[in-house]
Structure 1
Amino acid sequence: MTAVQDNITGHDEYLRVLEAIQTGALQLLAGFPQQPSALRVQVGEVTIEAEWQVSGAPVAPAPAPVETGVAQDDPPIGAVFRAPSVGVFYRSPEPGADPFVQVGDPVTAGQQIAIVEAMKLMIPVTAQTSGVITGILVEDNEPVQFDQSLFSYSPE
C-alpha cells in the first residue's frame, strides 16, 4: 500500500470508530429520564467529553395537534409517545413514502411509528404499548426535543 492508501484507510477506520461512539452515546442519552448536561466516553486511551446547556425549565408543552380524529378545538385524548432524542422528526421512512402511522391506526408495543434524526443517525420512535393513534403533535421534518410528545394515543 502507498502512504496515501494507508492514510485513506486510517481515515475511514477513524470515521467508523467515531460513528460507533456517536451511535452508542445517542442510545445512552435516549435512555435517561431527563436530559443530562454532560457526557464522557472513554475507550482505551481515548476520552471524549461533551457538555451542553440544559435549561432548568421543563420541556415546553407540545403544540396543538397537526392531525386528530376529533375537532381541532378538542385537546388530544389519551397518553403520548415521546421523542427518544433531540433531532428532526420524520413521519415516514424516506421522502415521498407513506407515513409509518396515521390518526386512527392501531399500533402494537415495539412497532416503529416515526424516526428522529440526530447527527445523521436515524433513531426509531417505537410505540411503548399497544393502542390507537389519536393525534400527531409535531409537523413532519420539524426539530424536536428529548422527551417531547410526538403522538397521542388511546391505550388498548
Structure 2
Amino acid sequence: MDIKEIQSLIKFVARSGASEVKLEMEDIKITIKTGSESPETTIIQAAAPMAQAPQMVAPAPVAQPAAAAAATPAETEDDSKYVTVKSPIIGTFYRKPSPDKPMFVEVGSTINAGDTVCIIEAMKLFNEIESEVSGKIVKVLVDDMSPVEFDQPLFLVDPS
C-alpha cells in the first residue's frame, strides 16, 4: 500500500463520517480516527514484510488482467448470438427451490418467458427470478449457492 492509497483512504474516511476505521493486512496495520477537525492516522508496519510484499503482490495482478482480457474477446464472440439472463438483485444464487427438489433449469432445458429459472436470496427473502425470453438454456454461468451481484450474468439462452 503506497502513500497515495493511504491518503485516499484518509480522505474517504473523513468524508464518510465514520469515527474510526481499522485496516489490517499481512504487512501493515492502519487505524484512522476522526472526531476532531483533522483525521488522526496511526500506521504500524513491520520493515521486513513490507519490503517483500511489493515483489510478491505486483506480478499477480499484472498477470491476471492480461489473462482475463485474452479470454473475454473469445467468449464475447461465441456468446453474441445468445441472450443473457442477469441478476436483478444482489444475493445468493440457488438453482433449486430446496435441497431435496430438482433444479429449475439445466443446460438444454427449454424455457418460456415467465418461467422461473432460479432463486436469489436477499436478506432472508427468496426471490424467484423469471426468464424474460423464451429459448433453450445454453450455459449456466454461476455455481449453485454462490453470491451474485446486481446485473451479473446468470444464464445464456439461445432464443432461436
- TM-score, normalisation: structure 2: 0.50
Residues 1:113 and 2:117 are matched in the alignment: yes
Identity of aligned residues (%): 40
Instruction: Report the aligned-residue RMSD.
Output: 2.3
Q: Counterparts of 1:83 and 1:95 in 2: how far apart (Å)? A: 21
2:126 counterpart residue number: 122
Q: Counterparts of 1:147 and 1:96 in 2: how far apart (Å)? A: 28
Q: Counterparts of 1:97 and 1:75 in 2: how far apart (Å)? A: 32
Instruction: Provide, for residues 79-116 of structure 1, a one-character-per-residue CA deviation record: whole Å limited to 9, x for no partner.
Output: 11011200000000001321000001100000001000
1:39 counterpart residue number: none
More helix by share: 2
In the TM superposition, structure 1's runs of 4+ consecutive aligned residues that sit over 3 Å from their partners are 74-77
Equivalent residue for 1:148, pick from 146, 152, 155 = 152
2:19 counterpart residue number: none
Equivalent residue for 2:83, pick from 79, 85, 88 = 79
Q: Counterparts of 1:123 and 1:143 in 2: how far apart (Å)? A: 14
Q: Quick one: which amino acid aligns to residue 158 of structure 2?
A: S
Structure possessing the higher relative contact order (Cα contacts under 8 Å, 6 or more residues apart): 1
Q: Which secondary structure does the structure 2 equivalent of 1:93 belong to?
A: coil
Residues 1:103 and 2:104 are matched in the alignment: no
How far did residue 75 of structure 1 move? Answer: 4.8
Q: Which runs of 5+ in 2 are unaligned?
A: 1-67, 72-76
Equivalent pairs, count? 86
Q: Quick one: which amino acid aligns to residue 155 of structure 1?
A: P
Q: Counterparts of 2:140 and 2:78 in 1: how far apart (Å)? A: 12
- TM-score, normalisation: structure 1: 0.51
Question: CA separation of 1:94/1:152 partners in 2, compared to 1, >3 Å: closer, same or farther?
Answer: same
Rg bigger for which structure? 2
**C-alpha contact (below 8 Å) 1:84/1:116 kept by paired residues:** no
2:45 counterpart residue number: none
